[in-house]
Structure 1
Amino acid sequence: MTENQPSNTDAILGGQALLSVNAAVLGGALGAKRKLAHELGLSDELTAELSRTHDIFSFETVTVNDRGDIIDRQRKQAFYYTENLGDGIELEMVYIPAGRLSYGYGAEATIDIPSFHIGKYPITQAQYQAIVGKNPAYFKVSKGYPYSNRMPVEQIFWQDTQEFCSLLNTKTGRKYKLPDEFQWEYACRAGTKTTFYFGDVINEYLVNCMTYQFTSARDWKRTTTVGLFPPNNFGLYDLHGNVWEWCEDRQPEKPKSDFGNPRGVVWDLERKNNLIKGGAWNIATPECSAAFRAAATIVEKQTHGLCNCVGFRVICI
């Protein structure tokens, strides 16, 4: 080891020194990235790659008690990269570390989830317009919503998501797709085991949906701009409420367990349904949980009144 090379235990205070991955880093952007990677338990190789290709962002999470009162706030950070969609429109993709998902109300099963990237927000109207060249949303500028470019795109059907991903892949050279149900739920829970990622109770300050205080869709009249409500531990927003999000999966012939179908709904399997997750602005509280699964037909342009409350977000492996 030469005089200017740090050892694995050196404290680096900033500057241009070549950093050992395991060094304790106390300053600079690179130091912050390596500190975050260490907290996530990432390998030296992955730490070096993320430090080179990703930035980090900070956010605040909340935890609520059984009355919905915030009892804790935590400052956190996450890795992300930005995709330039043109005309100043960007897509922020957040790194989700590998882990294990315990799923079901009784946590009766587990599955290992490899790492992936997922959109920080559901796809917005501006992002959809930038890629596809049109905006199918109902809640848009022409309907009197001046900030709709930051609202999630809706009136989206499964085939529309496939067109978007295909065009995005061609533009970027990456492989974007819809998340499967397990990837979606793993990203939503972000290590938590509660009904929602902030606790077991929901209210109008946490989610855009029909809460117990608001008993009809008239009380919530539309989608809201993305990022308005607190994020989860991965730094992801709007996973509960706002718009349903399409998954890659078809509705299974039989429910995997009661956790995703607590009311025992029987699906019409002849209608070629795909899963949707997360609830929406006009959906009651229970259906907005991390575990709940619903389905919508992929072949009709009107389905169960869901058309102006179904959107999507993308992942990249």
Structure 2
Amino acid sequence: TEATAQLEKISKTSNQIQVAGVSLPIPEEIQTTQSVSKQRLLKAPNLADLKDFDFEVVTVNAKGKVTKTERCQAQFFTQELGNGVTLEMVAIPGGTFQMGAPVDEEGSSNDERPQHPVTIQPFFMSKYPITQAQWRIVAVLPRVNRSLAENPSRFKGDKLPVEQVSWYDSNEFCSRLANETGIFYKLPSEAQWEYACRVGNTTPFYFGETITSTLANYDASVTYAFERKGSYRGETTPVGDFPPNTLGLYDLHGNVWEWCADPWHDNYKNAPSDGSIWQNKNDNHYMLLRGGSWNDPPQGCCCAYRYMYEPVSRSSNLGFRVVCS
């Protein structure tokens, strides 16, 4: 199909499909919701019309010194939301990675183990956490399962990530967006999130051995390795203010915790190897979050770090991003 042909261009023209130096497969199709007769309020994007974008990534050593800068390119499609607001969805190639942290990683814990290989199918992930401008538009779309506050965030700003949204709220956002576009938007699985964050790296952070306050928004008054102490901003920052990873994804470390679709498990024993949502047989008292926030020390921002909250919880450091596949 034309969409497949466009997606295949990624492997020929863009850096973002290189994970650990290996060319990875591209999606053959994009899953959409099944109803095609519904009169939708938002126009579905043309998924055959992927566009390129260029960006710069950095690598740092354990002292936080930049040792490498690199120009990369990725592809994305744009979902129009109205009133000049868009949602950019970045193409994430499929591949296999080691999920979790090794026993010798600073600050790691047993809930991040055992490390295990996971194979991920291609998908799309939002370039940034969902912003307040994006949230407000979707919050007034027809209700699916629950009502949504139009302006729930503590820190106000169109380009700031939405926060004070629960796991249930985040899923309602996805359901409304899916219903009104025909694209199956949802929360990422925990495995999808870590895969997209790592981009083939085995270091604690996607930019290397440590983290600094020039690279992310977190509590930099606490150090992780041998870097100098930095600033503690005490609030969220506009999405995209800090360097992305080599897939072109921003704010995966710090700013707001990001809800995942999975319920909490105490470790990775018997975890699925296909990147799917890991369901359990209890009543899912706690759901997973990833990435750390403006209010967390560097340890909480590591690629492998896992956190949990009750799905009804709302806080000024809880947000989310979306995927489709």
Q: Is the structural similarity TM-score above 0.5?
A: yes
Matched, 1:85 2:81: yes
After superposition, the Cα gap between the structure-2 partners of 1:86 and 1:195, relative to the gap in structure 1 and judged at 3 Å, is same
Partner of 1:208: 217
Partner of 1:255: 267
Listed as ranges, the matches of 1:1-317 within 5 Å are: 34-36=12-14, 40=18, 41=23, 52-106=48-102, 108-133=115-140, 134-140=150-156, 148-213=157-222, 219-252=232-265, 254-256=266-268, 272-301=285-314, 307-317=315-325
* Structure 2 Cα separation of the partners of residues 224 and 300 of structure 1: 21
* Structure 2 Cα separation of the partners of residues 38 and 184 of structure 1: 16
Equivalent residue letter for 1:195: P
Partner of 2:273: none
State the shift of 1:135 in Å: 1.6
Higher relative contact order (CA 8 A, sep 6+): 2
After superposition, the Cα gap between the structure-2 partners of 1:64 and 1:52, relative to the gap in structure 1 and judged at 3 Å, is same
Bigger Rg over Cα: 1
State the shift of 1:200 in Å: 1.4
Query: What's the CA shift string for 1:88-125, capped at 9, x where partnerless?
Result: 00000000000112022228310100000000000000
Contact 2:10 / 2:17 at 8 angstroms: preserved in 1?
no
Contact 2:62 / 2:209 at 8 angstroms: preserved in 1?
yes
TM-score when normalising by structure 1: 0.76
Equivalent position SS for 1:237: coil
Contact 1:272 / 1:299 at 8 angstroms: preserved in 2?
no
Equivalent position SS for 1:53: coil
* Structure 1 Cα separation of the partners of residues 302 and 115 of structure 2: 17
Equivalent residue letter for 2:237: T
Equivalent residue letter for 1:188: C
Contact 1:34 / 1:51 at 8 angstroms: preserved in 2?
no
After superposition, the Cα gap between the structure-2 partners of 1:99 and 1:309, relative to the gap in structure 1 and judged at 3 Å, is same
State the shift of 1:36 in Å: 2.4
Contact 1:101 / 1:182 at 8 angstroms: preserved in 2?
no
Percentage of identical aligned residues:
41
> Which structure 1 segments of 5+ residues have no match?
1-20, 22-29, 141-147, 258-268, 302-306
Query: What's the CA shift string for 1:31-63, capped at 9, x where partnerless?
Result: 89852289654669959xx99420110010000
Once superposed, what is the RMSD of the aligned Cα atoms?
3.0
Equivalent residue letter for 2:56: E
After superposition, the Cα gap between the structure-2 partners of 1:214 and 1:92, relative to the gap in structure 1 and judged at 3 Å, is same
Query: What's the CA shift string for 1:147-182, capped at 9, x where partnerless?
Result: x10010000101101110111011211100000100
After superposition, the Cα gap between the structure-2 partners of 1:273 and 1:39, relative to the gap in structure 1 and judged at 3 Å, is closer
Q: Larger helix proportion, structure 1 or 2?
A: 1
Equivalent residue letter for 2:199: A
TM-score when normalising by structure 2: 0.74
> Which structure 2 segments of 5+ residues have no match?
30-45, 103-113, 141-149, 270-281
Equivalent position SS for 1:95: strand
Contact 1:33 / 1:51 at 8 angstroms: preserved in 2?
no
Equivalent residue letter for 2:91: Y
After superposition, the Cα gap between the structure-2 partners of 1:73 and 1:277, relative to the gap in structure 1 and judged at 3 Å, is same
State the shift of 1:295 in Å: 0.2
* Structure 1 Cα separation of the partners of residues 320 and 119 of structure 2: 23
